[in-house]
Amino acid sequence: MSNFLHGRHASLKAYVPGEQPTDQQYIKLNTNESPYPPLPEVVAAATAEAANCHLYSDPKGTVLRRRLAARYGVKPEQIILGNGSDEILSFAFQAYGGPDAPVAFPDISYGFYPVYADLYGIPKVIVPLKDDFTVDTEAFMGVDTAMVVIANPNAPTGLALPLEVIAHICESNPGSVVLIDEAYVDFGGESAVSLLAGHPNLLVVQTFSKSRSLAGGRLGYGIASTEIIADLNRIKYSTNPYNINRMTLAAGAATLDRDEVCTARCAEIAQTRAYTAEALRALGFTLTDSVANFLFARPADGNAEGMYAALRERGILVRYFSGERVREYLRITVGTRAQMDALLTAIREIEHAN
Ligand code: PMP
């Protein structure tokens, strides 16, 4: 830290992303990316667009927003694009939170929520998950904060709430924006987009990072009422109007052209998830019933940190969190069947050696 940093950031704990190592080839099961690369036509579209990079990108992302609007049955004015869904989250915290406008979210969820709150000086109302790691939905009814943020499915648990509950949370907090972070919805959850018509305070956030194989392209979007999207645009145009680069806009549109491939890949991941979960249970692990592209798994002895380190030595990266309630669990991204077989073989070796 330099002497120049403003005092308000002195105690800010920045988000720590999962490792993206460059020292060797790992089987990467630590950041919930897709194991499948973008389709050749997506790469071709992005490559072709690179030739136009002397010109700024379309700040409105008109073509892609139109495509997304058609895909989700909403108006283009109900969509905003972000540099990853992280940026949409950032816009929302800035738009609705403030020193006098707290934001509520579960204690165990996406680690970026408290970071945004702290960065923007927003008081946090942290609602503990129940002992079984499900969201304490009652506690979110009438919570009376400026915004409620719930990842559905939640991370790192992979557990999803039914849409009726989301609807209730919206209805019981009419004065709050209810942000539903659907980063993992395509792997087995139910999208709240269908609730938008009757719930003017709902903001649904999705991403191309997981189910559409574009994590490195950085493309996310929010869907909500035209008024909420106008609020978010006010923040976007006050920070970074050209937030999505030309290659990513082109890649996003080309990806949507082949959405059926993404859907088939998600189904494949769901099958591999079931296969891996069963094998891990047979090895003594305890797991939540994840509907996301990752498993939340506790080794029989609860020594998740030891298992993380032993897997790393064998070239397999998984995610370990040291937080009190989660430190006995690993978050394991579901990759290809071959990657999961390599994981299972490594775990058998590790268990055998102990
Ligand atoms: N929400 C959740 C719950 C996530 O796990 C992630 C991925 N780290 C994100 C949002 C952000 O993803 P991206 O910015 O790549 O869209």
- At 148-187, the pLDDT tens digits run 999 999 999 999 999 999 999 999 999 999 999 999 999 9
183 lines ligand 1 (CB under 6 A): yes
The three-point CA angle 280-23-17 to 5° equals 65
Tell me the CA–centroid distance for residue 17 and ligand 1, in Å: 10
- β-sheet bridge partners, residue 296: 331
Task: Round to whole Å and give the CA distance between 266 and 68.
Answer: 18
The answer to whether the beta carbons of residues 147 and 96 sit under 8 Å apart is: yes
The answer to whether the beta carbons of residues 84 and 293 sit under 8 Å apart is: no
3-state class (DSSP) for residue 181: strand
- Alpha helix (H) ranges present in 129-225? 137-140, 163-172
The answer to whether the beta carbons of residues 276 and 270 sit under 8 Å apart is: no
User: Is cis: bond before 156, omega within 30 of 0?
Assistant: yes
Tell me the CA–centroid distance for residue 134 and ligand 1, in Å: 19
At 59, list the tokens.
Answer: 């700040």
Task: Please state which architecture CATH assigns to domain 40-258.
Answer: 3-Layer(aba) Sandwich (3.40)
255 lines ligand 1 (CB under 6 A): no
Number of other CB atoms surrounding residue 310 within 10 Å: 18
- Taken as a whole, the chain contains a residue count of 354
> What's the CATH fold of domain 8-37+260-353?
Aspartate Aminotransferase, domain 1 (3.90.1150)
Q: What is the pLDDT of residue 352?
A: 86
Number of other CB atoms surrounding residue 70 within 10 Å: 11
224 lines ligand 1 (CB under 6 A): no
> Per-domain residue ranges for the chain?
8-37+260-353, 40-258
Q: What is the pLDDT of residue 154?
A: 98
pTM passes above 0.95 = yes
pLDDT tens string 288-345: 999 999 999 999 999 999 999 999 999 999 999 999 999 999 999 999 999 999 999 9
